[in-house]
């Protein structure tokens, strides 16, 4: 069992089942962060529209290519999402990040190694960046700090 311990939140990645369990406050957390050094991290509120776009990115970029006969309706999540951005010099250079749990109903292995990470630049499309195995090194440290999450456990 892997534990994340933050200043005011604790999340447990249940290794036996492979389901990421986030703190109760995570549902209203934010997108933020980028590869831009010095950009301000901003916590954002997740909307159902953004949640749907994250699920679409996971489905189209990761799951569907390996399971072409599966149905998009089986996507479960993302849930317990942290969402934020790293401000760029202009709105078009802002980089948005999301971290959450996701899987496919009926495929228990799909829930392993979360949480999962997504990123988008400016008004571009969301890119599924992969699972983390509990190590959030893919996410900008400035966002992890405002979300009270460590890089790795």
What are the residue ranges spanned by the domains of the chain?
A: 25-107+115-130+138-147
Instruction: Establish how many alpha carbons lie within 13 A of residue 1's alpha carbon, considering only the half-sphere containing its beta carbon.
Output: 6
User: Could you report the per-residue pLDDT of 100-138, keeping only the tens digit for each?
Assistant: 999 999 999 998 888 999 999 999 999 999 999 999 999
Could you give the C-alpha distances from 5 to 16, 22, 114, 145, 146, in angstroms and in order? 19, 11, 16, 12, 14
pLDDT of amino acid 59: 96
Percent of the chain with pLDDT over 70: 75
The model's pTM:
0.75
Strands 75-86 and 10-14: unpaired
Residue with tokens 């703190």: 23
User: Could you report the per-residue pLDDT of 29-57, keeping only the tens digit for each?
Assistant: 333 333 444 589 999 999 999 999 999 99
């Amino acid at each position: 069992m892997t534990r994340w311990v933050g200043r005011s939140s604790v999340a447990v990645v249940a290794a036996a089942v492979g389901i990421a369990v986030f703190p109760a406050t995570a549902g209203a957390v934010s997108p933020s962060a980028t590869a831009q050094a010095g950009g301000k991290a901003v916590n954002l509120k997740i909307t159902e529209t953004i949640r749907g776009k994250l699920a679409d990115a996971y489905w189209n970029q990761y799951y569907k290519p390996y399971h072409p006969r599966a149905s998009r309706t089986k996507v479960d999540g993302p849930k317990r999402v942290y969402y934020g951005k790293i401000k760029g010099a202009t709105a078009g250079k802002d980089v948005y990040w999301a971290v959450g749990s996701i899987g496919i109903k009926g495929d228990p292995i799909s829930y392993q190694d979360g949480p999962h990470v997504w990123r988008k630049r400016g008004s571009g499309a969301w890119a599924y960046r992969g699972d983390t195995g509990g190590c959030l090194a893919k996410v900008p440290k400035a966002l992890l700090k405002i979300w009270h999450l460590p890089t790795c456990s």
